[in-house]
Amino acid sequence: MATERNGEGLFGLKISSGFWRDALAGLSLASMNIPQVLGYARIAGMPAVTGLYTVLLPLLAFAALGASRHLVVAADSATAAIFSGALSEMAPVGSGAYISMVSAVALLNAGFLLVARLCRLGFLADFLSRTVLVGFLAGVGVQVGLGMLYDMLGLVSDRHTPVLQALELERGIPRANGMAALISCVACLILLLGQKYMPRKPVALAVIGLGMLLGWSGLPGAHGVRLLGAVQGGVPVLHVPVVPWESILALLPVSASCVFVIIAQSAATSRAFADMFHETVDENRDILGLSAANAVAGLSGTFTVNGSPTQTAMAVRVGAMTQRAQVVFAGVTLCVLLTLTGPLAWLPHCVLASVVFCVAMGMVDLSALNRIRRESPGEFWLALVTAATVVGVGVEQGIFIAIALSLFRHVRHSYKPHTMVLRSDAATGAMEVEPVHVGAQTEPGLIVYRFSADLFYANCQLFAQDITLLVETAPVPVRCLVVDCSAVTDIDYSAACVVRDVFERLSEQQVQVFLGRVLPYALADMERHHIVGAVRRENIFEQLHPAVAAARAFIAD
């Protein structure tokens, strides 16, 4: 990492160039995300000002306790859609009872997340491979970009499913507002040129400022372009929401759904951007930060916060490298709440949507997808399925499908591992491998067989079938079988029963079994499952060559 240059700051204090970079990034991030969280408040069915509250105390809480250098924790459309859909059936949207239950859900989330931290559930992020992370971010980018097209064209949709949004968008294009579309095209052009030629400059901030000036001129309004409108100011008052006990019980499953999404989405996002910068991630500490962020969200009268892929991408795009940018973001939010809610009223929706659209499209990493396609076509399809699930079904379902597909791919490799026969090269004497096939034999009377995975209930039949095939089809009757156990570190009960049965049948056929490269973990399992007795302890070796030598000596006798 490059050394940060220092400069003289106020009162003679030395402030690193990294601080100024993060400060500028935080300012740019605030300019893009403050209007966006107002839109999330609308999805949540909450007053607009509560959207601003999500990027005040929650940002500071995560910055203080979280581990990720890049993750932006704020309002999120996925969790907003989850709890608003459930709570709208329990109380009228926007009512006092509804607002109290929304804040109560945030507090329940904080409690569940604290339990998750104590149980060290951060390991869930280990089940998200880099392949599915690329697909996940691509799917989120397409989903968010599709939603932004409505505001860019001056259209309105009440659809939440991307597929339905796409179908409705196609039918609604003839009704698009020409002025909104023109402004959006100009804004996207400026943003794309800025990304290419001035990637570290706050181009998005300039676009937002120009948008507010344009809205103030009255030109967009005269052509029917929607503006953001008045936003209430003031700081939040900390309080505990009052909710009846029976309502708390009804909120538990809603909160549990939110927590699963928070853990998975935040872990996926922080892991994706940590990989981008070759950094490590402490998922358990991030969960603690998320718990604190949701706790202060509930106490400040706002709604659930989550690690946001879109806002994190925005932060990285404008140059943020640490959580200092989020602290500046929170400081700007405080200033807006106190004095600057007025100018936001002039911001056209289409300008805001254009900024978010460009960031969302940047999340579709075509170069990474192409690399995956070239190097591992199977994993490429895994990435595409993940992206398609996020777009077609939803972010939360996409995450769980990604985890399930990653596990399925791993289990598939373990279920059908590589198995081979080792042969001695006549010229060099070194061992060479070839796949198991009819008639394969290491040398007359000897087979050296390698099983390249742990033995468990799903793959133990392959072990038995291979050995049976090799012994029965050997061109010269087999007297010794040497099993290379270098890849076997664990044997479960079902596999042990099959292995014992195979070795006992070989003994009845006068075939001597030797085990080579037996690791201590595997040996402990063999002793516990009585495999050692079926083989004899003197026929088990820590290295392969002594096992082969012992087999050759047995054949020679």
> Cα–Cα distances in Å, from 503 out to 472, 531, 548?
14, 8, 17
Average pLDDT over residues 469-486: 95
DSSP state for residue 125 in the 8-state scheme? G
Q: What is the pLDDT of residues 134-185, one digit of tens each?
A: 887 788 788 878 888 888 998 887 666 777 778 888 888 889 999 999 999 9
Give the whole-number percent of the chain exceeding pLDDT 90.
44
Query: What are the sequence ranges of the domains in the chain?
Result: 13-410, 416-556
Whole-number pLDDT of residue 8 = 43
Cα 470 to Cα 447: distance, rounded to the nearest angstrom: 8
Reported confidence tier of residue 9, pLDDT bands at 50, 70, 90: very low
Residue 343 has pLDDT above 90, yes or no: no
Reported confidence tier of residue 303, pLDDT bands at 50, 70, 90: very high
Q: What is the pLDDT of residues 110-133, one digit of tens each?
A: 999 999 999 888 776 666 677 877
Residue 11 has pLDDT above 60, yes or no: no
3-state class of 297 per DSSP? helix
Residue 339 has pLDDT above 70, yes or no: yes
Whole-number pLDDT of residue 395 = 65
Whole-number pLDDT of residue 426 = 65
Reported confidence tier of residue 363, pLDDT bands at 50, 70, 90: confident
Average pLDDT over residues 296-317: 90
In contact, 463 and 455? CB cutoff 8 Å = yes
Closest to 395 (Cα-Cα) out of 184, 17, 163, 143: 143
Q: CA angle, 108 as apex, 107 and 113 as ends, to 5°?
A: 100
Choice among 154-168, 210-224, 263-277 with the minimum mean pLDDT? 154-168
178-197 vs 203-217: helix axis angle to the nearest 10? 160
Whole-number pLDDT of residue 12 = 39
Residue 240 has pLDDT above 80, yes or no: yes
Residue 265 has pLDDT above 70, yes or no: yes
Q: What is the pLDDT of residues 36-85, one digit of tens each?
A: 787 778 778 888 889 999 999 999 999 999 999 999 999 887 788 778 76
Cα 157 to Cα 344: distance, rounded to the nearest angstrom: 23
Q: 186: which 2 tokens?
A: 């100009």
Burial grade of 158 (CB within 10 A; 0-12, 13-18, 19 or more):
exposed
Residue 499 has pLDDT above 60, yes or no: yes
Whole-number pLDDT of residue 13 = 38
Give the whole-number percent of the chain exceeding pLDDT 70.
93
Whole-number pLDDT of residue 52 = 92
Domain 416-556 in this protein, CATH class: alpha beta
Choice among 101-115, 196-210, 519-533 with the minimum mean pLDDT? 196-210
Order the strands of the 431-435 sheet from edge to edge. 431-435, 419-424, 446-451, 480-484, 512-516
In contact, 467 and 441? CB cutoff 8 Å = no
In contact, 91 and 101? CB cutoff 8 Å = yes
Reported in sequence order, the residue ranges of 462-535 that DSSP labels E, i.e. its strands, are 480-484, 512-516
Whole-number pLDDT of residue 447 = 95
- The mean predicted confidence, pLDDT, of the chain is 86
**Greatest mean pLDDT range, 120-129, 274-283, 377-386, 445-454:** 445-454
Average pLDDT over residues 102-117: 95
Whole-number pLDDT of residue 134 = 83
Q: What are phi and psi of 544, to 5 degrees?
A: -80, -45
Whole-number pLDDT of residue 200 = 67
Cα 516 to Cα 532: distance, rounded to the nearest angstrom: 13
| Residues across the chain | 557
DSSP state for residue 174 in the 8-state scheme? G
More confident residue, 521 or 407: 521
